[in-house]
Structure 1
Amino acid sequence: MPEAPAPHHTRALRDAAGLAAAGLVPAAAVPGLEAVQARYSIAVTPAMARLIDPTDAADPIAAQYIPRAEELVTAPHELLDPTADEAFTPVPGVVHRYPDRALLKPLLACPVYCRFCFRREVVGPDGGLLTEAELDAALAWFERTPGVREAILTGGDPLMLSPRRLGAILARLAAIPHIEVLRIHTRVPVADPGRVTAALAAAMGTETALYLCLHANHAREFSSAAATALARLTQAGVVLLGQSVLLRGVNDSAHALEDLFRTMLRHRVKPYYLHQLDHAPGTARFEVPPEEGRALLRQLRHRVTGLAWPTYVQERPGGAGKVPLGPVWEVG
């Protein structure tokens, strides 16, 4: 579908009434969605709103960002903290689950709020921004933990930070002798590409190896503006990886996954992870069973180059970390 004309709004839509005014939900749905927004944050950027076809009830972009009343129904297997971040938090803003790497969460704000997010109980527009003292303590933790060789900035979305603040965080991490790799997890280049300014790209310039892991789930998220943002990053020397979540109604077909991975490669994004859905509350409608995911990947094996092949992974409960799900191949 071609990109729709720009909607009348210029700021992110943050409530049910705004979504209705933009024509993205029917007015009759507003009361039910107001109950959702009381519990979970809503944000749809103009860039994403332009990609939504409001006449298509099965639009894969809308499915990711437009709230639905089902979000208030928690299935028995769903967990408030499916990745068990809290149990692995030595200081505020740090998650240390694996021996050689740790997460740094400098803020909990995002440009958009995905309806399947495993941190949806904590992310929101108030930002959850670490104070200067908390950020200093988090960075000091990295400095005194020599077993950690990789620092992963996540959140929230680290590219919501100003170039100055992002650059200062990266510079301090890069100055730690035992930190060999820096990684940033973000949706900004597709969800709010105008944020990827020359200054923001320059802030990621570092002697330490830096990888930016882009979260995108459908080929249509790669708009012309997103292409410009990604080109700016690659021209600045940033290495791009891609991570996606296997989602019912978004990318649960071999055709959709092939389009997604091929589109990533055209934009110099190497598909890295395809995630099995984490069991966050109210997300059951997105569930694709692992056996179906394996079957989809088997269909792709001889249709796409190995460059387009991600590792299909699932987060084990209780914070036990990721494991690859396959598929398993018979040899002989």
Structure 2
Amino acid sequence: MSRTSGETEASTEPQPAPRAPAAPAAFRPTVPDAQWRDWRWHMRKRVTNAEKARQWIRLTPDEEEAIVRSAGRYRWSVTPYYASLMDPDDPLCPVRRQAVPALAELMEHSGAEVDPVGDMYYRKTNRVVHKYPDRVIMLVTEACPVYCRHCTRKFHTTDVEGTYFRENEGSSYEEDLRYIAAHPEIRDVLLTGGDPLSYRDGTLEEIVSGLRAIPSVEIIRIGSRFPVLLPQRITDELCGMLARYHPVWLNTHFNHPKEITGEAAAAVDRLLRHGIPVGNQTVLLRGVNDDVATMRTLMTGLLRIRVRPYYLYHCDNVTGVSHFMTSVEKGWEIMEGLQGHITGFAVPQYVLTTKIGKIPVARPAFHETPEGLRLRNYRGEELTVDRSVYPVREADLR
């Protein structure tokens, strides 16, 4: 039996009805089921040039030019699975915009930086970045299944000349583990990159087991977009291995409802059945999800597959990424279109990521008046609450 790679795979695992991707074009390849289920096959067959891209989409002249001009500057690859979600005829397809190079990446933009979040400033070892008191990130790899065009670490993970590793990526982890062990205030370690699940299970287990052997490390988190870009990677074997080192959490990165497929839902289900909670960190992206209707559909769709919305990141002003940025006002508009209109825990926290950390930027829904608190609800209705009901300060109690 064979199938086109745009079809979603049937699963015996319980899952909600997915949002199906667009029907495949006639020119798209037919792939045997056994290969389509094998994540290693997808990694080997990634789209890395215009010739391969034409098997999935009809490239525009601008896309053709961007692919040529980005060579030697920004890496590019797309898994067959993620390519199958693209609309073959619409260059404005939200999946396509996240994965196919664009000429705007090569333009200069005011205020853009290669490291706006300060990874290099807070780096303590080859891989450890220690920005917050009780937690660190470990940048374990540069590799990704798809090099997202909006990546915060675009220079470090995709510039052919650029790297955030002081030494080779494959060098020993001993220095990194020693640093974490020597700082008992570190209770939470986030594995990121690149995408940690690019490693095979054995290599990943060496890292996770090394962290779990440190008594002060309470929580291990993995930041991975594999549930979105290549859900076949989330195997029972991987989940079983991670479950041996609980508590383990996974945060992923759905940006658009088209990414919530049956295969993605099945991958999330496997993680949850092995006791691994799944959260989501969406990036607000111009032309992808910068409207209230899309964001509501995304957040409620995530709840249907039991993924908890966590952050809505304002897109960072990263070199090669600035064209995806919206205004902060647009972010406020979207947040106000979510709050009160959908389930409370479907509403993420809207943040700016800066060199001094993540900054919540929600627009206040109250202000102090001489009469008390002036409150505003999601409909824009206002109510003043007397100080005797809700004292504004502790001194009011005296």
Alpha carbons 2:73, 2:158 under 8 Å: kept: no
Q: Which residue of 2 aligns with 1:177?
A: 215
Superposed displacement of residue 207, structure 1: 5.0
Superposed displacement of residue 233, structure 1: 0.8
2:318 equivalent among 280, 301, 306 = 280
The one-letter amino acid of 1:305's match is T
Q: Which residue of 1 aligns with 2:76?
A: 42
Where 1:296 maps in the other structure, the secondary structure is helix
Residue 151, structure 1, aligned to residue 189, structure 2: yes
Greater mean deviation of Cα atoms: 11-20 or 269-278: 11-20
Q: Which residue of 1 aligns with 2:105?
A: 71
Residue 244, structure 1, aligned to residue 271, structure 2: no
Q: Which residue of 2 aligns with 1:130?
A: 169
Where 1:121 maps in the other structure, the secondary structure is helix
Alpha-carbon deviations, 1:88-115, whole Å to 9, x = none?
1111011111111100111110111111
Residue 139, structure 1, aligned to residue 192, structure 2: no
Alpha carbons 1:104, 1:151 under 8 Å: kept: yes
Superposed displacement of residue 169, structure 1: 1.4
Q: Which residue of 2 aligns with 1:328?
A: 364
Where 1:48 maps in the other structure, the secondary structure is helix
The one-letter amino acid of 1:166's match is L
Identity among equivalent positions (%) equals 33
TM-score, normalized by length of structure 1?
Answer: 0.93
Superposed displacement of residue 250, structure 1: 0.8
Pairs within 5 Å for 1:310-321: 310-316=348-354, 319-321=355-357
Where 1:272 maps in the other structure, the secondary structure is strand
Alpha-carbon deviations, 1:249-281, whole Å to 9, x = none?
111111111111111111111000000011111
Q: Which residue of 2 aligns with 1:13?
A: 47
Alpha carbons 1:15, 1:37 under 8 Å: kept: no
Q: Which residue of 2 aligns with 1:304?
A: 342
Superposed displacement of residue 161, structure 1: 1.3
Q: Which residue of 1 aligns with 2:145?
A: 111
Q: 1:32 to 1:57 in 2, by over 3 A?
A: closer
CA distance in 2 between partners of 1:188 and 1:233 (Å): 12
2:136 equivalent among 91, 99, 102 = 102
CA distance in 1 between partners of 2:55 and 2:61 (Å): 8
Superposed displacement of residue 87, structure 1: 1.1
CA distance in 1 between partners of 2:159 and 2:237 (Å): 23
Alpha carbons 1:217, 1:245 under 8 Å: kept: yes
TM-score, normalized by length of structure 2?
Answer: 0.78
The one-letter amino acid of 2:205's match is G
2:226 equivalent among 185, 188, 193 = 188
Alpha carbons 1:82, 1:280 under 8 Å: kept: yes
CA distance in 2 between partners of 1:2 and 1:124 (Å): 28
Where 1:153 maps in the other structure, the secondary structure is strand
- Shift >6 Å, 4+ stretches: 125-129
Any stretches of 5+ residues in structure 2 without a counterpart?
1-19, 32-41, 367-374, 376-383, 385-398
Alpha carbons 2:74, 2:159 under 8 Å: kept: no
Greater mean deviation of Cα atoms: 204-213 or 27-36: 27-36
Residue 215, structure 1, aligned to residue 253, structure 2: yes
Where 1:145 maps in the other structure, the secondary structure is coil
Alpha carbons 1:211, 1:238 under 8 Å: kept: yes
Greater mean deviation of Cα atoms: 94-103 or 168-177: 168-177
CA distance in 2 between partners of 1:253 and 1:30 (Å): 28
Residue 225, structure 1, aligned to residue 259, structure 2: no
Alpha carbons 2:105, 2:320 under 8 Å: kept: yes
Where 1:111 maps in the other structure, the secondary structure is coil
CA distance in 1 between partners of 2:271 and 2:309 (Å): 16
1:88 equivalent among 99, 122, 137 = 122
Alpha carbons 1:20, 1:30 under 8 Å: kept: no
